[in-house]
């Protein structure tokens, strides 16, 4: 039973970390790279705000994944 709970915790953590990566790529890196390529002029503050929010959300998902791993049993 202990191994089963550990595996469930690992799968949940992996899933949450995958979401964190997806949010970071879709919401932060893609607009940043697109903005650099298409509009090298002044900063678009709306896009910068969205990028910042997505990075924070990504970090929160990653921290949730780490917290899930704390549930592992010895």
- What range defines the domain where residue 61 resides? 2-69
Query: Does residue 55 lie within any of the structural domains?
Result: yes
User: Pseudo-torsion of CA 41, 45, 18, 13, nearest 10°?
Assistant: 140
| 72 pLDDT more than 90 | no
| pTM of the predicted model as reported, rounded to 2 decimal places | 0.84
Number of independent structural domains in the chain: 1
What pLDDT does 6 receive?
Answer: 92
What pLDDT does 38 receive?
Answer: 83
Query: Does residue 74 lie within any of the structural domains?
Result: no
What pLDDT does 42 receive?
Answer: 81
User: What separation, in Å, do the N-terminal and C-terminal C-alpha atoms of the chain show?
Assistant: 12
Within 10 A of 12 (CB to CB), how many other CB atoms are there? 15
What pLDDT does 37 receive?
Answer: 84
Chain segment 5-64, per-residue pLDDT in tens = 999 999 999 999 999 999 999 998 888 888 888 877 787 888 889 999 999 999 999 999
- Distances in Å between the Cα of 26 and the Cα atoms of 32, 53, 59, 65 are 10, 12, 14, 19
């Amino acid at each position: 039973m202990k191994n089963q709970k550990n595996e469930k915790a690992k799968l949940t953590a992996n899933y949450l970390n995958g979401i964190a990566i997806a949010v970071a790529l879709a919401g932060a890196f893609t607009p940043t790279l697109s903005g650099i390529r298409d509009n090298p002029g002044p900063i678009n503050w709306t896009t910068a705000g969205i990028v910042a929010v997505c990075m924070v959300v990504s970090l929160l998902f990653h921290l949730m994944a780490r917290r899930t791993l704390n549930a592992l049993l010895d």
